[in-house]
Amino acid sequence: MAGKLLVSMSFFIFLTASAYDLKQVLILSRHNIRAPLSSNLHNLSNNTWPKWNTQPGFLTAKGALLEGYIGNYISNWLVKKGLLPNGCPDSNDVYIYANTRQRTRETAKAFVNGAFKNCSVTVYSKNSTKMDPVFNPVFRNMSLELKSQIVEEMKQKLDNLRLKKAYSKLNDLVHLEHSPICKKSNVCNFLHAKDSIVYEIGEEPNINGPLAYTNSIVDAFIMSYYEGMPTSDVAWGKIKSSKDWNLLTRVTQENQNVRFNSTVLAKEVAKPLLKYIYDIFKNENSPKFTLLVGHDANLNSVMAAIGFKPYVLPDQYEVTPLGGKLVFQKWHDSKLNKDLLKVDYIYQTVKQLRDGDVLSESNPPRWMKMEIRNCQNDFDGFCQWSDFIEIMKSISY
């Protein structure tokens, strides 16, 4: 009886899966490994920081290599699911759009090189040294009421920070009491320094104070770790375990949480990108596959505005990992003649990034099923496409 039930269940799952056809995919991606953003790390410690062969904030050669691996993996998945043909896709079926920063442009190019090698697939990126307005997560609305709401959201998150242990460890790691910033600005203990909110029209939500300082430090640590530097060059060999990494990367998580992961704030700073995504899904002539390459700020603000439920990514220290991809999928249920949404987070693990692993079916990236609060998932992770479109419409205009 149990055997018959198992066969029946397997047959039912097969029929259910086979009745769904993948019609469209849009990926919102973070760039891959880059050099640290800050060029002022020497102010935060007298310790010798590791040297990089790339400019601050630029994609590294290893980052490009890893992006090619995940591009190849996703391309194979798209072919397997029947969305794209085996070989070069039609130029109207694929659209690649990257922000103007070198790390996003080069990430997009590396993805294309891995996914569509020797094909005529163009990476679109505006020819400008300024941030593309679509990807730029800045304040635009001059309403004082809106400012008040956003500042209050940010203040509440700052008040709820639980970073004392991380700050204490970082004090010791960088020997802050002997640093230039201690001598010049009297910032000698991250536990005693105070954060202040920066709200300026045309600028990103920002924080001045220990959260920003420690974020720069941890960012440098984790980028050097992913880049594959010797452990003696990563935080001067003083990070000994996953427990240490989990403690310290809470700083970078909270930095993004305060700056981009609040509902009112997110809807404000992500509006151009949300509208862009909504317009792609509403246009019946949109490409079958779209890749948008931006930053962790884009992923965090878009997810907060849409209303994704909290999640944890196994085998990762970050909530928006380098090269990680939020994958929006439009499926069609041929039996009921209706469209469905499924969203997965596809990302490389800490080990895959550190070791530079080639991705394959036997060594795949991780997949995390994502959920949206007002778009109820069924057992297989699908929700109603019409519900999703209504959510996108309400936050895009």
pLDDT per residue over 248-259, tens digit each?
999 999 999 999
Tell me the average pLDDT across 150-177: 97
Confidence (pLDDT) at 164: 97
Can 42 be counted among the known catalytic residues? no
| 12 pLDDT more than 50 | no
Instruction: Please report the pLDDT score of residue 1 as a whole number.
Output: 47
pLDDT at 6 over 70: no
Nearest to 292 by CA among 312, 274, 311: 274
Catalytic residue, candidates 31, 195, 219, 339: 31
What mean pLDDT do residues 266-274 have?
98
CA-CA distance, 359 to 366, in Å (whole number)? Answer: 10
| Position 301 pLDDT exceeds 60 | yes
Mean pLDDT (the chain) is 94
- Mean pLDDT score, 156-185: 96
Supply the pLDDT for residue 336.
Answer: 92
Kindly state the tokens that stand for 327: 């994958």
pLDDT in tens, 194-203: 999 999 999 9
Q: Which two tokens stand for residue 246?
A: 């989990």
What letters, b where the CB count within 10 A reaches 16 and e where it falls short, cover 346-362? bbbbbebbeeeeebeee
Confidence of residue 3 (pLDDT cuts 50, 70, 90): very low
Q: What is the mean pLDDT of residues 150-175?
A: 97
Extract the runs of DSSP E, i.e. beta strands, from the chain: 20-30, 94-98, 123-124, 196-198, 206-208, 289-294, 325-333, 338-347, 366-369, 383-384
Among 132, 195, 219, 296, the active-site one is 296
List the domains of the chain with CATH numbers: 21-39+59-139+266-396 (3.40.50.1240), 144-263 (3.40.50.1240)
Question: How much is the average pLDDT of 229-258?
Answer: 97
Mean pLDDT of 163-182: 97
Where residue 94 falls among pLDDT bands split at 50, 70, 90? Answer: very high
pTM of the model: 0.93
Mean pLDDT of 277-290: 96
195 catalytic? Reply is: no
Predicted confidence (pLDDT) at residue 219 exceeds the cutoff of 90: yes
Is pLDDT at 56 greater than 90 in this prediction?
A: yes
CB atoms within 10 A of CB 341: 22
Dump pLDDT digits (tens) for 303-314.
999 999 999 999
Residue 15 has a pLDDT of 43
Task: Indicate whether 331 pLDDT > 90.
Answer: yes
Q: How confident is the model at residue 11 (pLDDT cuts 50, 70, 90)?
A: very low
**Angle value at C-alpha 349, between 245 and 377, nearest 5 degrees:** 110
Residue with tokens 């300024």: 130
Kindly report, residue by residue over 120-133, the tens digit of the pLDDT.
999 999 999 999 99
Query: How do residues 99-115 score in pLDDT, each as one tens digit?
Result: 999 999 999 999 999 99
Whether 224 has a pLDDT exceeding 90, the answer reads yes
Distance CA 123, CA 115 (A): 12
